[in-house]
């Protein structure tokens, strides 16, 4: 009995890492856009939904080849970047009017996007098939475990490392942070601040759309999924701290474990546990675990 419990607990922990990796892809884009560009994007969940439904509309429900799946994932990244550019253009006139106007505009755009995909794909539950090479199971502590979830963990880890290196260890990342702390000085150096901010929004939007492709086989596609993932991403950002890549990683992994173990051990209290963790963190660190001040 003890061995079964140990194996079951380990499987649930790995599941939590997979969900946490997916939340990181979503939340890191949100924390970059809000923390580095000062844009409150409540349409971020719709970008996730668009990525998942867009891949579903292209690939369908039948067997999917690995090459087609990869091509669609790359295509979604590109389309997400273009959507981010359009989002930045739409919000630009509201730059000096505060976060409430930004929230209302992006929320409205998100609702429109969600409804368009509901019309195209229908309002029932949809599942995106994965290639046979990724759809098989492997042995994990004697239990059969989906290989695709391990792939999600690996991809999320690679993106986390790349994101951290780019934004914390390169000149491009330094410019992105500097445009928040002192945009006038950056502009005086001859750097186009608007282009830097647009690039950040494009990267964040493309990661959210990519998360939709990666997460569709795990969470299913359904009405309201955009709101669900947006709430989870906001919790991750609040816990991790605005503008912090490290905070997005830690917050996503923490919420992934709380979500997975909570549903498994205390199904009736899982939703409360998510907000309970957020409240506890804010009581100790009001700015989040790794939050930094932004101008």
Mean per-residue pLDDT over the chain, rounded: 87
7 pLDDT exceeds 60?
yes
Between residues 45 and 35, the one the model is more confident about = 45
Q: What is the mean pLDDT of residues 20-41?
A: 89
| Dist CA 51 CA 76 (whole Å) | 6
Cβ contact 233:45 at 8 Å: yes
Please report the pLDDT score of residue 155 as a whole number: 95
pTM, whole model, 2 decimals?
0.90
Neighbours of 257 (CB within 10 A): 18
Structural domain includes residue 242: yes
Structural domain includes residue 279: yes
Structural domain includes residue 225: yes
| Dist CA 25 CA 48 (whole Å) | 10
Percent of the chain with pLDDT over 90: 46
Q: What is the pLDDT of residues 232-280, one digit of tens each?
A: 999 999 999 888 889 999 999 999 999 888 877 777 777 788 888 999 9
What are the structure tokens assigned to 247, written together?
A: 């905070």
Q: What is the pLDDT of residues 178-234, one digit of tens each?
A: 787 777 887 888 788 888 888 999 999 999 999 999 999 888 899 999 999 999 999
145 pLDDT exceeds 60?
yes
What are the structure tokens assigned to 43, written together?
A: 């349409």
In the three-class reduction of DSSP (H, G, I as helix; E, B as strand; rest coil), residue 204 is classed as helix
| Dist CA 70 CA 211 (whole Å) | 13
What are the structure tokens assigned to 289, written together?
A: 């675990």
Helix axes of 99-121 and 66-91: crossing angle, nearest 10 degrees:
140
Structural domain includes residue 209: yes
| Dist CA 45 CA 48 (whole Å) | 5
Q: What is the pLDDT of residues 245-254, one digit of tens each?
A: 899 999 999 9
Please report the pLDDT score of residue 2 as a whole number: 46
1 pLDDT exceeds 60?
no
Residues in the chain: 295
Domain extent at residue 181: 2-284
What are the residue ranges of helices labelled H in the chain? Answer: 2-37, 44-59, 66-91, 99-121, 132-135, 147-169, 171-181, 183-188, 193-219, 225-240, 245-265, 270-284
Structural domain includes residue 289: no
Q: Report residue 293 CA to chain centroid gap.
A: 22
In angstroms, the Cα distances linking 265 to 13, 239, 260, 269, 273 are 12, 23, 9, 9, 12
Structural domain includes residue 65: yes
Structural domain includes residue 295: no
Structural domain includes residue 47: yes
Count up the domains in the chain and report the number: 1
Between residues 158 and 269, the one the model is more confident about = 158
CATH number at residue 79: 1.10.3470
């Amino acid at each position: 009995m003890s061995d079964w419990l140990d194996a079951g607990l380990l499987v649930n922990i790995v599941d939590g890492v997979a969900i946490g990796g997916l939340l990181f892809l979503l939340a890191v884009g949100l924390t970059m856009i809000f923390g580095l560009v000062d844009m409150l994007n409540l349409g971020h969940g719709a970008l996730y939904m668009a990525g998942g439904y867009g891949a579903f509309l292209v690939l369908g429900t039948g067997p999917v080849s690995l090459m087609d799946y990869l091509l669609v994932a790359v295509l979604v990244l590109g389309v997400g970047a273009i959507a981010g550019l359009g989002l930045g253009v739409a919000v630009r006139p509201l730059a000096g009017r505060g976060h409430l106007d930004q929230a209302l505009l992006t929320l409205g755009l998100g609702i429109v996007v969600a409804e368009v995909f509901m019309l195209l794909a229908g309002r029932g539950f949809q599942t995106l098939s994965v290639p046979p090479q990724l759809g098989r199971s492997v042995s994990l502590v004697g239990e059969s475990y989906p290989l695709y979830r391990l792939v999600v963990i690996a991809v999320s880890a690679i993106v986390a490392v790349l994101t951290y290196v780019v934004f914390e260890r390169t000149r491009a990342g330094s410019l992105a942070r500097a445009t928040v702390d002192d945009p006038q000085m950056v502009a005086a150096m001859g750097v186009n601040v608007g282009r830097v901010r647009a690039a950040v929004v494009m990267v964040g939007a493309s990661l959210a759309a990519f998360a939709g492709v990666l997460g569709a086989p795990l969470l299913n596609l359904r009405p309201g999924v955009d709101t669900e993932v947006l709430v989870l991403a906001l919790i991750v950002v609040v816990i991790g701290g605005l503008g912090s890549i490290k905070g997005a990683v830690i917050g996503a992994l923490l919420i992934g474990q709380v979500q997975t173990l909570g549903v498994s051990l205390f199904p009736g209290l899982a939703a409360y546990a998510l907000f309970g963790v957020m409240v506890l963190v804010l009581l100790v660190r009001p700015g989040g675990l790794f939050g930094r001040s932004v101008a």
